[in-house]
Structure 1
Amino acid sequence: LGAVLGGAGVIGIAIGFAVRDTVDNYVSSLMLSLRQPFRGNDHVVIEGNEGRVVRLTSRATILMTLEGNHLRIPNSTVFKAVILNYTRNSERRFDFDLGVDADDDPVDAMATGLKAIRALDFVLDEPRATAIIREVGDSNIVLSFRGWLDQAQTDFLKGRSLALDAGKRALEDAGFALPEPIYRLRFDETAPLPLRGMLDAQQAKPVRKAPVAPSQQAMEDAAPDTHIEKMVAEERAQTKGDDLLDNRRPIE
């Protein structure tokens, strides 16, 4: 009798956990359908998972990743997760770092880089692009450049890449050095190094290549890539019945 009761207790505990997860997921689905935390085709990041929202079902939220794969996240996880939505506000800030020589004037370097970045057509005038001195290292000064773009008109990654290239070229053309890391080596209790021949040999000076101006086609190719967005729209049109997202309801 004791063994039977013990076995029944274990089975009851297992069933209890299963029922709890099912109820938790169902309640989360109901709350998400009422709260409407995102719209279909929104570009979101949920628990580190990035993609566009395909649909919200009674059990899971379906995303299409930026690589075109389907990702299923249980609604109980979505309800408790921190959700980052890139679509709600089309204006988005990009930033990148560039290092100049420690002997260069960082204020002059920031002004030079900002002039080139602000001249790009896709960089917004408001909020205005800015720059700060982020760090002073042993061999360089790290400058951080920041600007804003409209994601509806410009692909974020393409825009950031073009802005970084424009800032780098402007600094190089103005004579600012972009130094490489310098490492100090220390040798303790070692045999003398065979440096005589190396010291006598004449070192060849590295030839610095002249910067090549970017092509006009590359500068204009900053339009957003809508391939994933179109794929999601087509799938949503085919599965309208199995979606708890409703554009008629207010979004949270």
Structure 2
Amino acid sequence: MAFFRTVLFLILIISPTGLPQIALAQNGTIHTGEGTSTARSQQDAAIANKIRDIIRELDGYEDVTVQVRSGIVTLRGTTLELSQAEKLDDLVGRVEGVVAIENEVTMSTDVAKRLTPLVERVQTRFWQTIAFLPLLGVAAVAFAIVLWIGFFIARRRQPWDRIAPNAFIAEILRAVIRIASIVAATVVALDILGATALLSTILGAAGIIGLAIGFAVRDTVENFIASVLLSIRQPFAPNDAIEINGDEGKVIRLTSRATILLSFDGNHIRIPNATVFKARIVNYTRNPERRFAFDMGVAYGTDLAEARALAEKTLEGLPFVLAHPVVSVWTTELGGSDIGLRLTAWIDQRETGLLVARSEAIRQVLIAFEAAGIEMPEPTYRLLTTDLDAATEVEAKSAAAEILAETEVQDVAATLEQDLETIVTGEREAKQDEDLLRADAAKE
């Protein structure tokens, strides 16, 4: 008996896979491995059934077959998408007892099979759309109601006209209300449809588009922002005489893009608001008192104190010259043939024209100097051949005094400025809606 056991043991060592599995019990009996093989087959069958149950619940794996041998799973067949075949590795690998996977599934090229899912999807979506129509109608009604409420509030004149400093800012507030109502209506409609996640995508796309448009129309946006700031600050009013970067004229209007002036030659000057906002602005009208100045020259040897006093007295005696600020006359330079004097005086430009006042002042001072015998030499040489006797000189002074006494001050009304104001007023009345300036607005 011991010899027989030794022979069997040697056979198992030499060829362990060539004979059925044999187990030696402690009591000396020998058992074959047929029970172990049966258990493995049952386990493989269980794995195969479990995998079949899984892929049976998924779409697209109807043609896939499963074979399991010793824990090794072999998959064969076709799917409509290559990605579906690749997902099988992950699905099968999660099943307990799987040792390895041989995925031989390929993508189907059958036209009928590939078109069938498309037709089914179209039909499914069509019926889903039909079923969705009542909800879509409710969302559309909600969208219209919210939008109507927002636009109704935006159309009201109050409180926007009271809150905003001018009509332009009030219109901007109304535009903001309209945009907010559109966004609110969209959110409500998407919430009813259960598609609020789509809102972030829409807003993101709108932001990108807005950024691109902003770069494309940067100058226009800059002018628009400048018009908002100018309409709030109100650095000038309609009909003001101003100077912007060397351009002078009367203000016609301020639009959302440009400031329009009427030059003293009668031409329209359109200046972009971005330039106006950054430019040096001289407003000649804001202060009603305005100074005019001119230069005159007297000969060497003239009593400068007497000449200054006479010039000041002459200017102060003009009816259109203001008493305050006072008239000023001073010496400016010593020229080649004369001594220069600068004469200044102030007028109320609401009643007096600057240019005509300056012209009349020059004429009156010139007459006064000639009557007083104050010489205003020309830059030329003159040859005197005879001397005037005393009687002739007295007679000449008497005649000059008579001329001075008979000379009346001419009219210096601001006719040019009034004519320009009439033109500006007419143009403003023709296009009232496009003006951002208000006469009653606060001035900076």
Partner of 2:346: 148
Is 1:223 the counterpart of 2:410? The answer is no
* Whole-Å separation in 2 of the counterparts to 1:39 and 1:203: 59
SS of 1:241 mapped into structure 2:
helix
Contact kept, 8 Å, 1:113 with 1:168, in 2: the verdict is no
In the superposition, relative to structure 1, how do residues 102 and 220 fare at CA in structure 2: closer, same or farther (>3 Å)?
closer
Give, in whole Å, the separation in 1 of the partners of 2:331 and 2:414. Answer: 31
Give matches, 1:124-143, under 5 Å: 124-143=322-341
Measured after TM superposition, the shift of residue 70 of structure 1 is 1.3
User: What is the aligned partner in structure 2 of residue 181 from structure 1?
Assistant: 379
C-alpha displacement of 1:33: 1.2
**2:226, 2:277 within 8 Å by CA — same for their partners in 1?**
yes
Q: What are the equivalent positions in structure 2 for 1:40-119 lying under 5 Å apart?
A: 40-119=238-317
Equivalences for residues 201-220 of structure 1 within 5 A:
216=408, 219-220=409-410
Q: Flag the structure with larger Rg.
A: 2
Give the AA of the match of 2:438.
Answer: D
Give the letter aligned to residue 423 of structure 2.
M
Say whether residues 1:246 and 2:438 are aligned partners: yes
Higher relative contact order (CA 8 A, sep 6+): 1
Structure 1 residue 182, shift from structure 2 partner: 4.2
CA positional deviation for 1:27 = 1.3
Note the C-alpha offset of 1:147: 0.8
- 1:16 deviates by 7.9
Taking a change above 3 Å as real, the CA distance of residues 215 and 175 of structure 1, as seen in their structure-2 partners, is closer
> Taking structure 1 as reference, are residues 18 and 172 closer, same or farther at Cα in structure 2, changes over 3 Å only?
farther
Query: 1:178: Cα distance to partner?
Result: 0.5
For the 8 Å contact 1:52–1:65, the answer to whether it is kept is yes
Q: Quick one: structure 1 residues 127 and 203, their matched pair in 2 at CA, closer, same or farther if it must change by over 3 Å?
A: closer
RMSD: 2.3
2:26 counterpart residue number? none
Alignment correspondent of 2:357: 159
* Alignment counterpart, residue 225 of structure 2, candidates 8, 14, 27: 27
- Aligned partner letter, 1:223: A
Superposition deviation, residue 17 in structure 1: 6.8
C-alpha deviation, 1:151, in angstroms: 0.5
Structure-1 separation of matches of 2:215 and 2:333: 52
* Secondary structure in structure 2 of the residue aligned to 1:98: strand
Separation in structure 1 between the aligned mates of residue 216 and residue 258 of structure 2, nearest angstrom:
16
Q: 1:227 to 1:115 in 2, by over 3 A?
A: same
Unpaired stretches in structure 1, ≥5 consecutive residues: 1-14, 184-201
**AA partner of residue 238 (structure 1):** A
Which AA in structure 2 matches 1:76? A
Relative to structure 1, is the Cα distance of residues 181 and 18 closer, same or farther in structure 2, using a 3 angstrom cutoff?
farther
SS in 1 for 2:433: coil
Q: Which one is further off, 79-88 or 22-31?
A: 22-31
Percent same amino acid at aligned positions?
47
Structure having the higher helix fraction is 2
SS of the residue corresponding to residue 250 of structure 2 reads: strand
* Cα distance in structure 2, aligned partners of 1:36 and 1:44: 13
Shift of 1:101: 0.6
- Looking at structure 2, the residues matched to 137 and 54 of structure 1 have their Cα atoms a distance apart, in angstroms, of 44
Q: TM-score, normalised by structure 2?
A: 0.46
* Distance in 1 of aligned mates of 2:215 and 2:277: 19
Residue 177 of structure 1 aligns to which amino acid in structure 2? E
SS of structure 1 residue aligned to 2:285: coil
Pairwise CA distance, 1:203: 8.6
Question: Aligned partner of 1:33: which letter?
Answer: S
The verdict on how the C-alpha distance between 1:55 and 1:121 changes in structure 2, with shifts beyond 3 A counting, is same
